[in-house]
Structure 1
Amino acid sequence: MKRRHTLNALALLCCVGIQCATSAFADEPKKVAFVDTGNTGRSVMAEAIAGQLIAQRHAHIAVISRAVDEDPYDEKPEENGVILMKRRGIDTSAHRSVQLNANDVKHSDVILTMTDKHKEKVLALYPSAAGKVFTLAEYASGKHLDVPDAWGKPIDFYESVTAQLDTYIPAALDKVATIAPAKQ
């Protein structure tokens, strides 16, 4: 009799543990990494725009931005990008470039690159990212288009890049909101 009660108690604890683990898992935000060459321009603006949209929508999504290249490291964001984000009420001036790493890949539900070359490099460095790395345009619209690099170009070129980001990011966030979080 004692053994049966012990087994029933253990079964109940297991079920409660599974429910708690499932609830905790459901509370985790979906995680998106925006990736470009040096994490000083496009990916920084994408993270900023997405973060603002997430706050406005009260979405349960976390975003980061990363570089696929080793250099630059710990660099400031591009001045024209900072100016454009400031016009939107977003201060990106404190951002410093960070490289994509294995932990970012593991914990991201979706990795959105700015170009096909970035996507290829992420997949070459992290084959485990297959199935969750896409170009931003591909993920948002099914189109195979790159978001061009504005580095060193005039501010009007940056404005055209942010216009592309404004087109793709809302659709990408809508899609991210419908997926199950990554298994840790």
Structure 2
Amino acid sequence: MKRRHTLNTLALLCCVGIQCATSAFADEPKKVAFVDTGNTGRSVMAEAIAGQLIAQRHAHIAVISRAVDEDPYDEKPEENGVILMKRRGIDTSAHRSVQLNANDIKHSDVILTMTDKHKEKVLALYPSAAGKVFTLAEYASGKHVDVPDAWGKPIDFYESVTAQLDTYIPAALDKVATAAPAKQ
């Protein structure tokens, strides 16, 4: 009888341990990757804006930004984007471009591209991303609108791009926060 009681106690402790481990995994933040061509402009600003909103809202979301093209690599962010983010109290000057990779695909719950072409390229490179890659506008609003590339354009063009990001990112974060995690 005593042995059965000991075994039941051990079984209960194991189950409690499993529940603890399971709940620890549930505490991981949802992960969002913002993707553009070279990871020097739009995706950098999107990551910065989203990061600021996440901090203000105390949301349980982690964000990264990546490039869908192999070049440029390890490049600084575009100066006009740095200026606009600095006006918001965000310093993006230390950012360096990073290319999207299989690990990013695997660990992201949602991958938000700036254009349909970026989305198509992500899916061509990583078919396993199907079901979790969307354009930012598509995911946030259901609209098929590209966030245009501001590279080489004047600062007022960058301002129009950030206005689009300001429109779509809060809605996208709300959707991510309430969505079930993507299956890995």
CA distance in 1, matches of 2:10, 2:130: 39
* 1:80-112 per-position Cα deviation (integer Å, ceiling 9, x unaligned): 000100111100000000001111111111000
Q: Secondary structure at the match of 2:178?
A: coil
Distance 1:6 1:110, change over 3 A: same
Shift of the alpha carbon at 1:22? 2.2
* 1:24-61 per-position Cα deviation (integer Å, ceiling 9, x unaligned): 12211111000000000000000000000001111111
Q: Secondary structure at the match of 2:3?
A: helix
CA distance in 2, matches of 1:46, 1:125: 22
Q: Secondary structure at the match of 1:64?
A: strand
Runs (5+) with no aligned partner, structure 1: none
CA distance in 2, matches of 1:43, 1:12: 48
* 1:133-159 per-position Cα deviation (integer Å, ceiling 9, x unaligned): 000000000001100000011111100
Cα RMSD, aligned residues only: 1.5
> What is residue 3 of structure 1 aligned with on the other side?
3
Distance 1:3 1:133, change over 3 A: farther
The answer (yes or no) to whether the contact 1:43–1:114 under 8 Å persists in 2 is: yes
Shift of the alpha carbon at 1:3? 6.2
Percent identity between the two aligned chains:
98
* 1:146-178 per-position Cα deviation (integer Å, ceiling 9, x unaligned): 000000111111000000000000000000001
Shift of the alpha carbon at 1:16? 1.3
CA distance in 1, matches of 2:4, 2:180: 37
> What is residue 144 of structure 1 aligned with on the other side?
144
The answer (yes or no) to whether the contact 1:111–1:134 under 8 Å persists in 2 is: yes
Q: Secondary structure at the match of 1:122?
A: helix
Q: Secondary structure at the match of 1:177?
A: helix
Between the two proteins, the alignment pairs up a number of residues equal to: 184
Are 1:60 and 2:60 matched, yes or no?
Answer: yes
Bigger CA drift: 49-58 or 173-182?
173-182
